[in-house]
Amino acid sequence: MSDRSLADLAEKMRDIDFTMLSTRTAGGAIGARPMSNNREVDYDGDSYYFTYDDALMVADIQADRHVGLGFQGKSGMIRQRPFFVAVEGVATLVHDQGRFAEHWSKDLDRWFPQGIDMPGLVMIHVHAERVHYWDGEDEGEIRVKMAAA
């Protein structure tokens, strides 16, 4: 087991744009869907995703805030090998346009043409509690401190 830091993982995650966001559905199954992390590369245990307030994943999060994130990228400069990150965290639904603006990127206009003024827009803030990584030669786990309330 390695003892990499969250900053080390952030560097390896720099070019990973999509994650699979998993929730527990009303029927008890696991629901997963791809979400863009908007290339926020200074990963500190917090991730932000935009969706519509009437999306099924929003209802899932309202019922159970515990979520999972799965990332896959490449590791190594010369000998490329798969790099995986699995995050267990707690999601919060954010409806504050000021917070939207902090995490907005122009690429989001494709899905939300009115930008942060889009009716029904919600931001999902996932705070990691545990991060597990594996790159074929190295693996480990990082426990993330809870954010101050």
Which domain CATH number covers 22?
2.30.110.10
Domain containing 96 equals 6-143
Burial class (CB in 10 A: 0-12, 13-18, 19+), 55: middle
* Residue of 30, 32, 37 whose CA lies nearest to 14: 37
**pLDDT value at residue 124:** 96
| Domain total of the chain | 1
- Identify whether 148 is part of a domain: no
- Identify whether 1 is part of a domain: no
- Identify whether 129 is part of a domain: yes
Written as one string, the DSSP assignment of the chain is -----HHHHHHHTTT--EEEEEEE-TTS-EEEEEEE-TT--S-SSEEEEEEETTSHHHHHHHH--EEEEEEEEEE-SSS-EEEEEEEEEEEEEE--HHHHHHH--GGGGGT-TTGGG-TTEEEEEEEEEEEEEE-SS-EEEEEPPPPP-
- Identify whether 124 is part of a domain: yes
- Identify whether 23 is part of a domain: yes
- Identify whether 99 is part of a domain: yes
149 residues of the chain, pLDDT tens digit each: 457 777 777 777 777 888 999 999 999 999 999 998 766 656 778 889 999 999 999 999 999 999 999 988 876 555 677 889 999 999 999 999 999 999 998 889 999 999 999 999 999 999 999 989 888 777 888 888 765 44
- Identify whether 136 is part of a domain: yes
**pLDDT value at residue 1:** 47
d(CA 25, CA 105): 29
d(CA 80, CA 67): 29
